[in-house]
């Protein structure tokens, strides 16, 4: 294996690497306390509450031409000087790259984040669309792209009516997506496409729903809440492990959380322990105020028809 002489030197003496990181972090902090100070202060408040219009320094990035570009140019100038001086240093900002999409998270405060996103030249033909909620304000800094703007017109069980409009977005534009009924996809990038994105999630994120563009069929749904996603994964893992000893806990958890996570928990409980699961199912079906009462009653009827002995569980085990 060939090891570059600079890397070999760092292995024997890590002080230059520490020096590089201190210099890069100082450059970032100088930008944050200088050109970006008012923007980041208002990002913190916006991350808690209010409309974007309540924060002039932040909203100005999208309302005043050249403001967003000037903010990013100041950051890049500060960081690039130090990267040239310390080429093996690590830029102290969260970043990722995958399949022609690069994301540099400039700052995050509470539920709000400011990110620089670059799309490389590409062309895709989307077959599905995902509605996830939240707010996205984007200032196009460079390049152009053909974008598909989707609006969720109506939803029915397992299906949706979706409107789609394709147009070209160019440098200087302001793009907006608000709420769980709007979203956007990049269809074709001409050369490159760079945007500054301000995003904010809801306090209680809605479910994410993915629909087929061909016929509007529901393909996938998932909780928009990170804690519920973690709970769903943990519950599924316990089910795959066959941990029937946790069935009583899962039965209690069918009364907590969103309708989605409650239903997923109920399914795992039924699979692990028929008695516990059917008792929880019966309790839900018998409560007319429960939004899951109707699907729970339908599932009960199906299960009893297929397995008549379950009717005895309902009588003897189901809590009233």
Is residue 315 very low, low, confident or very high in pLDDT (cuts 50, 70, 90)?
A: very low
Q: Are residues 44 and 181 in the same domain?
A: yes
The answer to the question of residue 213 being in a domain is yes
Per-residue model confidence (pLDDT) at position 278: 92
Q: Are residues 139 and 83 in the same domain?
A: yes
**Structural domains in the chain (count):** 2
Q: Are residues 208 and 292 in the same domain?
A: no
Residue with tokens 């050249």: 66
The answer to the question of residue 10 being in a domain is no
Q: Is the pLDDT of residue 186 over 90?
A: yes
* Sequence-ordered strand ranges (E) for the chain: 94-98, 101-109, 112-123, 128-131, 135-156, 159-170, 174-178, 182-200, 208-212, 218-222
Average pLDDT of span 122-140: 92
- Which of 197, 170, 196, 187 is CA-nearest to residue 122? 187
Q: Are residues 179 and 49 in the same domain?
A: yes
The answer to the question of residue 261 being in a domain is yes
Q: Are residues 202 and 232 in the same domain?
A: no
Q: Are residues 165 and 149 in the same domain?
A: yes
Is residue 11 very low, low, confident or very high in pLDDT (cuts 50, 70, 90)?
A: low
Pick the last residue of a domain from 189, 222, 255: 222
Pick the last residue of a domain from 188, 222, 256: 222
The answer to the question of residue 238 being in a domain is yes
CATH number at residue 184: 2.60.120.10
The answer to the question of residue 8 being in a domain is no
Per-residue model confidence (pLDDT) at position 19: 87
Q: Are 57 and 67 in contact (CB under 8 A)?
A: no
Q: Are residues 35 and 112 in the same domain?
A: yes
Pick the last residue of a domain from 196, 222, 248: 222
Q: Are residues 188 and 258 in the same domain?
A: no
Q: Are residues 149 and 270 in the same domain?
A: no
The answer to the question of residue 82 being in a domain is yes
Q: Are residues 173 and 272 in the same domain?
A: no
Average pLDDT of span 155-183: 93
pLDDT tens for residues 81-124? 999 988 888 899 999 999 889 999 999 999 999 999 999 988 88
Per-residue model confidence (pLDDT) at position 18: 86
pTM of the model: 0.75
Q: Are residues 69 and 24 in the same domain?
A: yes
In Å, how far are 41, 88, 114, 138 from 110, measured between CA atoms? 12, 31, 11, 19
> Residue 205 carries which DSSP code?
P
> Residue 204 carries which DSSP code?
S
The answer to the question of residue 7 being in a domain is no
Can you tell me the distance from the alpha carbon of 16 to that of 316, in angstroms, rounded to the nearest whole number? 72
Q: Are residues 135 and 257 in the same domain?
A: no
Is residue 320 very low, low, confident or very high in pLDDT (cuts 50, 70, 90)?
A: very low
Per-residue model confidence (pLDDT) at position 317: 46
Domain that holds residue 80: 15-222
């Amino acid at each position: 294996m060939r090891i570059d002489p600079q890397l070999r030197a760092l292995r024997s003496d890590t002080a230059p690497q520490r020096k590089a990181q201190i210099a890069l972090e100082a450059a970032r902090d100088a930008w944050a306390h200088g050109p970006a100070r008012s923007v980041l202060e208002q990002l913190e408040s916006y991350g808690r509450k209010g409309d974007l219009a309540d924060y002039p320094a932040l909203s100005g990035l999208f309302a005043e031409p050249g403001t967003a570009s000037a903010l990013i140019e100041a950051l890049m100038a500060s960081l690039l000087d130090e990267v040239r001086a310390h080429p093996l240093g690590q830029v102290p900002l969260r970043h990722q790259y995958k399949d022609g999409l690069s994301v540099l998270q400039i700052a995050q405060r509470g539920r709000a984040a400011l990110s620089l996103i670059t799309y490389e030249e590409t062309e895709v033909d989307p077959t599905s669309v995902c509605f996830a909620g939240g707010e996205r304000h984007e200032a196009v800094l460079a390049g152009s792209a053909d974008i598909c703007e989707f609006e969720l017109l109506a939803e029915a069980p397992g299906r949706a009516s979706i409107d789609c409009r394709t147009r070209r977005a160019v440098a200087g534009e302001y793009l907006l997506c608000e709420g769980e009924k709007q979203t956007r996809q990049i269809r074709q990038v001409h050369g490159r496409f760079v945007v500054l994105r301000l995003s904010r999630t809801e306090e209680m994120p809605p479910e994410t729903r993915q629909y087929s563009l061909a016929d509007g069929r529901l393909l996938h749904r998932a909780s928009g809440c990170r804690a519920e996603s973690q709970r769903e994964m943990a519950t599924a893992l316990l089910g795959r492990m066959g941990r029937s000893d946790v069935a009583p806990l899962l039965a209690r958890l069918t009364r907590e959380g969103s309708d989605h996570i409650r239903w997923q928990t109920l399914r795992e409980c039924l699979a692990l322990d028929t008695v516990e699961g059917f008792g929880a199912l019966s309790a839900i079906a018998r409560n007319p105020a429960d939004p899951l009462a109707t699907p729970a009653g339908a599932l009960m009827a199906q299960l009893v028809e297929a397995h008549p002995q379950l009717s005895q569980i309902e009588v003897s085990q189901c809590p009233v």
